[in-house]
Amino acid sequence: MSLALQDEQMSDDIGTRLKLVRQIFGLTQRELARRAGVTNGAISLIEQNRVSPSISSLKKILDGIPLSLAEFFTLNFLPSDELFFSAGELTEIAHLPEISMRLVGRRAKGRAMGMLHEVYQPGADTGEAMLRHEGEECGIVVSGCLTVTVGAQERTLYPGEAYYFRSDIPHRFRNQGAEPCVLISANSPPTF
Amino acid sequence: MSLALQDEQMSDDIGTRLKLVRQIFGLTQRELARRAGVTNGAISLIEQNRVSPSISSLKKILDGIPLSLAEFFTLNFLPSDELFFSAGELTEIAHLPEISMRLVGRRAKGRAMGMLHEVYQPGADTGEAMLRHEGEECGIVVSGCLTVTVGAQERTLYPGEAYYFRSDIPHRFRNQGAEPCVLISANSPPTF
DNA sequence: CATCCGCGTTTAGGATAATCAACAATCTGC
DNA sequence: GCAGATTGTTGATTATCCTAAACGCGGATG
């Protein structure tokens, strides 16, 4: 059975959403009501979309699961067959010839982040025209070395070293070493 | 019939949150009310936390900005300061003796994600009592192997293989191999 | 000044949601 | 088949929210 929701339901169908969440956590209306300190009738009405709960009520209910409001609204109900990925299943995102960028999983909307396995060949360069986009990004060098420029700052990172910056600051990646550089990076919200 | 406010964290302070968002978009209460099709009084009361709006009302208001409910609740207002981190500067987060977990940067609240460099010694195990927390997590095995259990599914991942799942699904990590396993993982929102 | 704006706030009353208690439907074991 | 427990639903009452209209305040303009 699939627990996936359509996009339209993701945004406004609070009732179905609550019902799904409650069932995923194996709770009855009465049990959840008891934990949350509300009545089972209220939960019934909400799940039927016969009322639109106040934030305070919804928060009380979610506290009984427990689940935050932010999580409740961002839940994307990923199908369970997309949990694990073998190396060959990472989806290649080739922007430049000398740089391999492979994303964990498919390009899924609604995810909180994207994780990439990247390989920079010697001499690879994302370009003097610095990259700039929304979000934050972070990475750790696994092997080789990578010269990272962020705004006015620049540094060459070696295995075990890392970076974390806001992606709206202009940035650039270059491999100035003699061997390929392997980098594992993450960005949130996902760029790809 | 009390006008006293409940003790609320910033994350649950809908009033302040709405006010910040509204001001960021340069709207007055009346202008936002007009676009949203509600009254300015309603917005005033909500921003003072004197009432807890219904989901339908809050959605109408956010549509006037426009902003989705999910975006509203996940909004973060925080800059990051330090850009680069040497291997020794990763902050150790030791939960278990046989597992080393080193976070990129300090434990900064408000970041979109956290990235960890983890080493699981042979036999290391996060425990049969499965982990569960908010957010999503993702990781790639760099060396060694790691057995990952997510809900009812389990798989042993080898270098280059990866996982991505919602952290509220019970999960567990074990190194059943003979050599240490190095894993680079990310979680969003950051757990540490 | 005095007047007019536009802003956020407040108040009374009608609209909406939550509670309480009862109800029907579905099991389970005897 | 029946009693008892469990689950989701429903009507009447109570509690809460939203609206409409007014209020107080400060800045701009004559």
Q: Give the model confidence (pLDDT) of A57-83 as tens digits.
A: 999 999 988 888 988 887 765 444 455
Q: How far is the CA of A61 from the C1' of D25 (A)?
A: 40
Say what the pLDDT of residue A38 is. Answer: 92
Q: Which nucleotide is nearest to B60 (CA to C1')?
A: D18
Beta bridge partners of B156: B147
CA-to-CA dists, residue B67 to A12, A189, B9, B25, B59, angstroms: 13, 16, 22, 10, 9
Q: How far is the CA of A52 from the C1' of D11 (A)?
A: 19
Whole-angstrom Cα distance, residue B56 to residue B48?
Answer: 19
Proportion of chain B above pLDDT 90, given as a percent: 18
- Using the C1' atom of nucleotide D21, identify the protein residue whose alpha carbon is closest: B41
Which residues does chain A have within 8 Å of residue B104's beta carbon, measured at their own beta carbons? Answer: 138, 140, 162-164
Block residue for tokens 């509300």:
A38
> A42 is written with which tokens?
């209220």
CA-to-CA dists, residue B3 to A20, B48, B58, B143, angstroms: 35, 11, 21, 58
Residues at the strand C interface (CB under 7 A)?
A 37-42, 45-46, 50-54, 57-58; B 28-31, 40-41, 43-45, 47-48, 50, 54, 56
| Contact predicate B98/B120, CB 8 Å | yes
- At B16-34, the pLDDT tens digits run 889 888 876 778 899 899 9
Measured between CB atoms, which of B58, B163, B186 is closest to A55?
A: B58
Question: Which residues are within 8 A (CB) of A151 and not within 5 positions of it... i.e. 6 or more apart?
Answer: A169, A170, A171, B83
Give the A:B interface size as CB pairs under 8 Å.
190
The average confidence (pLDDT) of chain A is: 79
How many C-beta neighbours within 10 Å does residue A192 have?
A: 13
Encode burial over A34-64: b for 16+ CB neighbours within 10 A, e otherwise. Answer: eebebeeebbbebbeeebbbbbbbbbbbbeb
Checking if the pLDDT of A1 tops 50, the result is: no
| Contact predicate B55/A58, CB 8 Å | yes
Checking if the pLDDT of B75 tops 50, the result is: yes
Conformation bin of residue A69: beta by default, left when phi > 0, alpha when psi is -120 to 50:
alpha
Checking if the pLDDT of B101 tops 60, the result is: yes
Measured between CB atoms, which of B55, B57, B73 is closest to A14?
A: B55
What is the nearest CA distance from B153 to chain A, expressed in angstroms? 8
Proportion of chain A above pLDDT 70, given as a percent: 79
| Interface contact A33, partner B, CB < 8 A | no
Confidence of residue B151 (pLDDT cuts 50, 70, 90): low
Instruction: List the domains of chain B with CATH numbers.
Output: 10-74 (1.10.260.40), 87-188 (2.60.120.10)
Burial class (CB in 10 A: 0-12, 13-18, 19+), B103: buried
Conformation bin of residue B151: beta by default, left when phi > 0, alpha when psi is -120 to 50:
left
Task: Calculate helix-pair angle for B55-63, B40-47, nearest 10 degrees.
Answer: 110
Which bases of strand D have any atom within 7 Å of the beta carbon of a protein residue? 6-11, 16-22
More confident residue, A154 or A32: A32
- At A122-174, the pLDDT tens digits run 888 888 777 777 788 888 888 888 998 876 667 888 888 888 877 776 788 99
How many C-beta neighbours within 10 Å does residue B134 have?
A: 16
| Contact predicate B163/B148, CB 8 Å | yes
Beta bridge partners of A116: A103, A185
Measured between CB atoms, which of B54, B104, B142 is closest to A162?
A: B104
Give the torsion sign (CA, B133, B137, B142, B145).
positive
Whole-angstrom Cα distance, residue A43 to residue A40?
Answer: 5
Backbone angles phi, psi at A149, to 5 degrees: -115, 125
Which bases of strand C have any atom within 7 Å of the beta carbon of a protein residue? 6-11, 16-22
How many C-beta neighbours within 10 Å does residue A166 have?
A: 18
| Contact predicate A74/A62, CB 8 Å | no
Say what the pLDDT of residue A107 is. Answer: 64
Which residues does chain A have within 8 Å of residue B55's beta carbon, measured at their own beta carbons? Answer: 14, 52-55, 58
| Contact predicate B24/B62, CB 8 Å | no
